[in-house]
Amino acid sequence: MSEHKNFRIRWGMAIDLDKCTGCGACVVSCQVENNNAPLVDASDKERIVNWLTVYRLENGKSFPDAEVAYLPRPCMQCGNPSCVPVCPVVATDKNEEGGIVSQIYPRCIGCRYCMAACPYHVRVFNWFDPVWPKGMEKTLTPFTSTRPRGVVEKCNFCHQRWDMAKEKARKDGTDPMDLPEGAYVPACVETCPTGALVFGDLNNKDHKVSQLAHGPHARRLLERLGGDPQVYYISRRDWVLDLLDNHLAGEAGHGKAEGGHHG
């Protein structure tokens, strides 16, 4: 683990697992926003480059007591990111301004140490150069670079959107480091049709995400590993909260977890 630093702004996300329907709209908007090449053959796993994955959770019971939940998983932007200290060329770092963990593609040498170190399987390696089927290259956005074969990439909370929000604030003569709530949100948050994703500054008590993160129904994924994620999950169901920290059947938790999870 790296040295834990404190920042004035800590961008974070709260994800309500009782609101998420697993529709996948967040995944699609993430791919479009960040210029991830369209998937031509979903069975070719090595070509899948997703920054955000939605997992299905089950409570392990039979009908009529069976329940499912859907868990969208972006990068946790860990306060104590295990991916950062293992990188031999400082191609990934904890951003001093907003606590976002960066990925600097031109520096990455593709050793994949960071992938091994991340407990959330967030990072993906480009085994191939990205290919856009004819005509679909028109969907490329000018705000994000594409990544070549041989480098690792991952979710960065749509960092380019923060840059644009800061630029707008400068033009408007307001403080770019004191953006109003909603001035900067990642594409997935903007797209979610059920309002399951909430984004803002965890250090700002007026931001909804900060209130949700401190609420009684909030937990973090594998919290006991000590990575200090900046993504919080909300659920009013004990079995869901138990699965978030990988509580085993019989282990003391918030409820009685019997279920498993499936990607």
Binding site for ligand SF4 (CB under 6 A): 20-26, 54, 70, 72, 75-78, 81-83, 101, 118, 120, 122-123, 154, 191-192, 194, 196-197, 227
Measured from the CB atom, the residue of 115 and 168 that comes closer to ligand SF4 is 115
241 phi and psi angles, rounded to 5 deg = -60, -40
- Rounded alpha-carbon distances, angstroms, from residue 127 to 119, 140, 153: 21, 20, 11
Residue 56: CB partners within 8 Å, gap ≥ 6? Answer: 22, 68, 69, 70, 71, 261, 262, 263
Measured from the CB atom, the residue of 23 and 32 that comes closer to ligand SF4 is 23
Question: Measuring CA to CA, which residue among 199, 2, 206, 221 is closest to residue 95?
Answer: 2
Measured from the CB atom, the residue of 9 and 192 that comes closer to ligand SF4 is 192
> How many Cβ atoms sit within 10 Å of the Cβ of residue 44?
11
Measured from the CB atom, the residue of 174 and 225 that comes closer to ligand SF4 is 225
Residue 21: CB partners within 8 Å, gap ≥ 6? Answer: 70, 194, 196
Measured from the CB atom, the residue of 162 and 169 that comes closer to ligand SF4 is 162
Can you read off the two tokens belonging to residue 232? 């919080």
Measured from the CB atom, the residue of 176 and 232 that comes closer to ligand SF4 is 232
Question: Measuring CA to CA, which residue among 218, 227, 257 is closest to residue 84?
Answer: 227
CB of 174 to ligand SF4, least distance (A): 30
- Which residue's entry shows tokens 């948050």? 189
CB of 36 to ligand SF4, least distance (A): 16
CB of 189 to ligand SF4, least distance (A): 9
CB of 75 to ligand SF4, least distance (A): 4
- Which residue's entry shows tokens 């593609």? 105
30 phi and psi angles, rounded to 5 deg = -65, -45
Residue 208 and residue 181: Cα distance in Å, rounded? 9
Measured from the CB atom, the residue of 151 and 169 that comes closer to ligand SF4 is 151
CB of 74 to ligand SF4, least distance (A): 8
CB of 100 to ligand SF4, least distance (A): 9
CB of 131 to ligand SF4, least distance (A): 25
Q: In DSSP terms, which residues pair with 72 in a beta bridge?
A: 54
